[in-house]
A and B are shown apart, each in its own frame.
Chain A
Amino acid sequence: MASKALFKYLPGHQAGAAGTVSVLVNGAVVRMSPASSLAAGLLAAGITAVRVSPVGQGARAPYCMMGVCFECMVDVNGRPNQQACLITPEDGMEVTTMQAAPSVLDAQEAKHV
Chain B
Amino acid sequence: MNNNTHSSDVIVIGGGLVGSSVAYGLLRQGLSVTILDGADDTIRPSRGNFGLVWVQGKGFGMADYARWSFGSARQWPALRDELQAQTGIDVELMQPGGLHICLSEEEMAQRVDKLRWLESEVGDPAYRSTVLSRDEAAEHLPGLGPEVAGATYSAMDGHCNPLKLLRALYSANIAKGARIHNRMQVDAIRKDGGIFHVSAGERAWQAPRIVIAAGHATQQLSAMVGMFVPVRPNKGQVFITERVQPFLTHPTNYVRQTDEGTVQIGDSMEELGFDDMVRVPVNARIAARAVKCFPVLANARVVRTWAALRVMSPDGFPMYQESDSHPGAFAVTCHSGVTLAAQHVFCIAPWVATGLRPAAIEAFPATRFTPETEVKPYGI
Contact = CB atoms under 8 A, between A and B. Distances in A.
Tell me if chains A and B make direct contact, with any CB pair below 8 A.
Answer: yes
Interface of A: 54, 78-81, 100-105, 107, 110
Interface in B64-84: none
19 contacts: A54-B242, A80-B242, A80-B299, A80-B300, A80-B301, A81-B301, A101-B243, A101-B244, A102-B242, A102-B300, A104-B245, A104-B247, A104-B294, A104-B296, A104-B297, A105-B143, A105-B245, A107-B298, A110-B299
Interface string B132-170: 000000000011000000000000000000000000000
Interface centre among A100, A104, A110 (most CB of B within 10 A): A104
A102 to B, nearest CB: 6
A78 B296 contact: no
Given A54-B261, A105-B142, A81 B296 contact: no
- Helix, strand, loop or mixed for chain A's interface? loop
Nearest to B261: A101
Given A78-B299, A81-B301, A102-B244, 13 more contacts: A54-B261, A80-B300, A81-B242, A100-B243, A101-B242, A101-B244, A101-B261, A102-B300, A104-B247, A104-B300, A105-B143, A105-B247, A110-B299
Interface residues of B, number: 15
A103 B244 contact: yes
B143 A54 contact: no
Contacts of A105: 142-143, 245, 247, 296
Contacts of B294: 104
A32 B294 CA distance: 36
A107 B299 contact: yes
A102 B242 CA distance: 9
Contact of A79 (B245, B247, B299): B299
A105 to B, nearest CB: 5
A100 B261 CA distance: 11
A104 B294 CA distance: 10
Interface string B324-338: 000000000000000
Contacts of B261: 54, 101
Nearest to A103: B245
Contacts of B301: 80-81
Nearest to B297: A104
Contacts of B245: 101-105
A107 B296 contact: yes
A62 to B, nearest CB: 18
